Amino acid sequence: MRAGKLPEGWVDTQLGNVVEYGKNSKKDLSDVNGDTWVLELEDIEKDSSKLLNKVFASNRPFKSTKNSFNKGDVLYGKLRPYLNKIIIANDNGVCTTEIIPLNAEPICCNKYLFFWLKSSTFLRYVSEVSYGVNMPRLGTSDGLKAPLRLAPLAEQKIIAEKLDTLLTQIDSTKARLEQIPKILKRFRQAVLAAFLSGTNENSQNFDKIVKLIDVSEKITDGEHITPKAVEDGIPLLSAKDVQENELLFDNVKYLSNVIADKALSRCSPEKDDILIVSRGATVGRTHLISIDKVFCLMGSVLLIKLNKNLVLPGFMELVFKSIDGQRQLVSASGATAQQAIYIRDVKDFKFRLLSLSEQHEIVRRVEQLFAYADTIEKQVNNALARVNNLTQSILAKAFRGELTAQWRVENPELISGDNSAAALLEKIKAERAASTGKKATRKKS
C-alpha cells in the first residue's frame, strides 16, 4: 500500500476514517411501499458491476430486516467479496444485510470510492481478512480498517471521470469479444449443416437414410450398479468425466482387475468408439475416443462401436454434433427433469449415410474449417485475458496518480493546503467530533 511515493496532496488512510462501514439504517417490509426497490446479491453480476435485475417489494416481499440505501450510495457486497459485486445505486431502496451501503459525500466522491473498492489493492486486503470458509465475508471491524488511498476531492472527481470513460471502452471491447465465440459456434453448425444436408458440390449419394443400429457392431451402456471401488486399478468414468474434447481421469473411482474384467466383457471402450452421455446435465454430449487406454463406464454413458466398413467414426461424430443430431438426442431424452437417453432410442437414431470417400472428404474439410475457427477462438480468449488484466492495470495507474499527473501540474491550488486529502481527513474528524459532542449534550440534558 505504501510502496512508492504518493502524489502531492494524497494520503494513505483507512476506510473507516472516511465512511462508517457497517453502520446502516434498517427497514422492515412494513416500512416500505410495493414499488420500493429490493436488491439482493444475485441481482449484481460479478466483476462487471452490472445490475442484472431490478425487483420491487411487490414482487419480492421479505421477512428479514434490510439495509436502507439512497440514490448515489455505493453498495458493496461483503459476502464472498472476491466476486467483486459493487454498484452505485440509481435509486432509493433496501438491500440484503450482506450488502453494505456507503456514502462518503461530500468529503469523498462516491464514484472514486466505488473504483477503489474494485482495485486489486483493496481486493487483496479483503481476501486476507475475510472470515468464513464456505461463505467468507468482510466483517465490520476489518472493513473499517481497510486501506484507502485518498486523493484531493477535485482530483477524485477527475479520476472518476477518466476511469468511467476508459473502463466503459474496455467493457465495450470485452462485450464485442465475448460475442465472437457465439458467432463461431453458429459458424461450426453452419459448416456441419452445409456438408451433411447435401449442399456439398462433390456429393453423390444423399438419399440413403439409415438407423444407427444398421451401421454399428455394438450399442450398449456401462454399469448400472456402482461396483466396489479400490484405491488403484481400472478407471471408472461417469457422465461428468466425458467432455467433448477430452476424458477426465483426475477424480474417478477405480475397479479391481477382477471386477473390471467382468465389466469390460460387456462394455469395453476402445479408440474410435463413440460415447454419448445419457444422464445428467450434459445429456446428449458426445465424445470420439482418441486415446488407447483401458477404462470402464457407468450406466450414465452409452458406448457405440461402429462398423468402420460402412461409417467413419469422425463422420459419425460430426453427425451427432450437428443441429439435427443434437435435436434427435435431446428429443429422445424427454422433457422431464430426469432426462435420459436409452439404448433403444440411440439404435433408432437416423442419418444420411454417404459413401466412405465422401465421408473422408467431409471430415477433412470440416476439420480444416474447424481448425480455422479454433485458431480464432484461441486468439479471442487471449485477447479477453488481456482486456481483463487491463482493467486492473488502469485502476492501478489511477490510484498511483498517473492518469492525472498533468492535471496536478496545471491545478496546484486544488491539491494543496485546505484542498489536500490531509485537510479533508481533518475536516471529517472535526465534523465527527462535533456530531459526537452534540449527541453527548442532548443526552446530558
> pLDDT tens, 269-278?
999 999 999 9
Q: Rounded to whole angstroms, how far apart are CA atoms 367 and 129? A: 50
DSSP character for 115?
Answer: H
Helix (H, G, I), strand (E, B) or coil at 183: helix
> pLDDT tens, 195-237?
887 544 444 544 589 999 999 999 999 998 888 889 889 999 9
Report all structural domains of the chain as residue ranges with CATH numbers, in order of start. 11-148 (3.90.220.20), 207-353 (3.90.220.20)
**Other CB atoms within 10 A of residue 331 CB:** 12
> pLDDT tens, 372-423?
999 999 999 999 999 989 999 999 999 999 999 999 999 999 999 999 999 9
How much is the pLDDT for 201? 46
How much is the pLDDT for 437? 67
- The pLDDT of 40-47, averaged and rounded, is 95
* Mean model confidence pLDDT for the chain: 91
C-alpha 51, offset from chain centre: 15
435 falls in which pLDDT band (50, 70, 90)?
Answer: confident
How much is the pLDDT for 434? 83
Cβ neighbours of residue 136 closer than 8 Å, sequence gap 6 or more: 79, 80, 81, 82, 130
> pLDDT tens, 106-116?
888 999 999 99
Cβ neighbours of residue 54 closer than 8 Å, sequence gap 6 or more: 37, 43
How much is the pLDDT for 207? 57
